[in-house]
Amino acid sequence: MTRVGVVTFPGSLDDVDAARAVSKAGGEPVSLWHDDADIKAVDAVILPGGFSFGDYLRAGAIASLSPVVETVVKEAAAGLPVLGICNGFQILCEVGLLPGALTRNAGLRFVCRDQRLRVEDVNSPWLRNYYVGQELVIPVKNGEGCYQISKDELSELERSGMVFLRYIEENPNGSLADVAGVRNAQGNVLGLMPHPEHAIDVLTGPSTDGLGFFSSIVDSLVKAG
C-alpha cells in the first residue's frame, strides 16, 4: 500500500483531513511530527494547511526550519513527491522548492469560500487523474494567499507548464495571473492554496473534485512500484 506522510506542525489545522483524504484514495496515511527528521520511509509527503507556529514572522517561515522539512527538502531533490496545501504551499516557497511567494490577500481580508478552478497542466504524479482544461470546485481559506513572482519568472513558469491551477470567474486573493497552484520543473513538488482535502466527499464538501490529488499519487506510485 502507498504510504503517504502527513506532517503535523504546532498550529496545523488540516492534517487529519489530509490523512482522511489519503485513506479515502486507498493509501496509508503516516503521521509525521515537525520536530522529527525521520520521515519513516514514506512514498510521498503532504505539508497540510493551517497556521504553523501561528504564522509568526510570516506564514510558513518558522515551519521551514523544522527538522522534518529539512529532510523533505533533501528527499524532494531526489524525486520524492511532495504536496503543499495552503500553509504547506507557503512553506515550500520559503524553502525554495517552489518559486515565488505568498503575501497578504488583496483587500487584507481572510477569504473562506468555495472556489472555481481550472487545471492547466497534469505533468505530475499528483495530477494523474485530472485532464487539462478540467474545471473544479474546491474551497479556499486563507489570509496570505496572494501569489507573487516577477513578470519574467512568471513567463518562464507559464512557458514550462509549471502553473498547473488557476482561479476562474473570480480571483479570491489577488494572485498574479490568477495563479492558484504551481509545480516544480520535475513535477514531483506541487503547491496550491485551495484545499482539496475539503472536497473529497459530497456530504462535507462542495464536490469530490479534490480527491483526484490523493488518488493520483496513490495510482502513480502503485504503477511505478
Q: Is the pTM of this model over 0.85?
A: yes
Concerning whether 146 is annotated as a catalytic residue, the answer is no
Query: Residue 208: what residue type?
Result: T
Report the C-alpha gap between 17 and 162 in whole angstroms.
26
Q: What is the CATH architecture assignment of 3-224?
A: 3-Layer(aba) Sandwich (3.40)
Q: Which of 75, 120, 144, 197 is catalytic?
A: 197
- The sign of the torsion formed by the CA atoms of 205, 9, 112, 73 equals negative
Concerning whether 197 is annotated as a catalytic residue, the answer is yes
Q: Which three cell numbers stand for residue 130?
A: 485530472
Span 15-30, pLDDT tens digits: 999 999 999 999 999 9
Span 155-202, pLDDT tens digits: 999 999 999 999 999 999 999 999 999 999 999 999 999 999 999 999
Q: Which of 86, 93, 94, 198 is catalytic?
A: 86
Concerning whether 75 is annotated as a catalytic residue, the answer is no
Q: Which of 93, 144, 146, 195 is catalytic?
A: 195
